[in-house]
A = this chain, B = another copy of it.
Amino acid sequence: MDILFVDRLLQIGDLFQRDMARAFAGTDLTPTRVHLLWVLQHSGPSTQQTLATLCEVTPRNITGLVDALERSGHVRRTPHPTDRRAVLVELTDDAKATMARMQEEHAELNASLLEAVAPEDRPALERGLTAVATHLERLVHAATNDTAPATPTTPPTPTAPDTPATP
């Protein structure tokens, strides 16, 4: 084998990010904003506090994202029926259609990726990835919560090193 196992995983993560960035280029959408739309699609109309929790960002950040998505016509702020401090953020009909399409394409991507793998390798692949995810989750959790000695580290996208310099 030529490439480290962990580097292959990092490479795949990187390719996903490129694919996303490319898909939204030229629109008002960004990966972060689409993430919020995605959350909204699954949670239904929600307060900004709820969205902040689900997206794991600060409420202040949600304000900005919702501002942008409201300007671009993807979401709407409506008054909360019982709490006059709060607002409900909800998808517009256009955005609902967009997200439904996106979810379909997501399923298609899933199918096309699976097809790229030899059928007899698929079970082991799924088992292996599950094991890796579990292991990683334990690592991150251990380091984050348990005030552990912070075992470093994963270098960001260490892909393609051996390119020569130009000095």
A residues with a Cβ closer than 8 A to B are 1, 4-20, 22-24, 31-32, 34-35, 38-39, 42-47, 49-50, 54, 80-81, 88, 101-103, 105-107, 109-110, 112-114, 116-118, 120-137, 139-140, 143-144, 150-158, 160-167
Contacts and interface: CB of A to CB of B under 8 A. Distances in A.
A49 B166 contact: yes
Number of copies of this chain in the oligomer?
2
A62 B9 CA distance: 26
A116 B134 contact: yes
B136 A19 contact: yes
A47 B15 contact: no
A148 to B, nearest CB: 10
A80 to B, nearest CB: 7
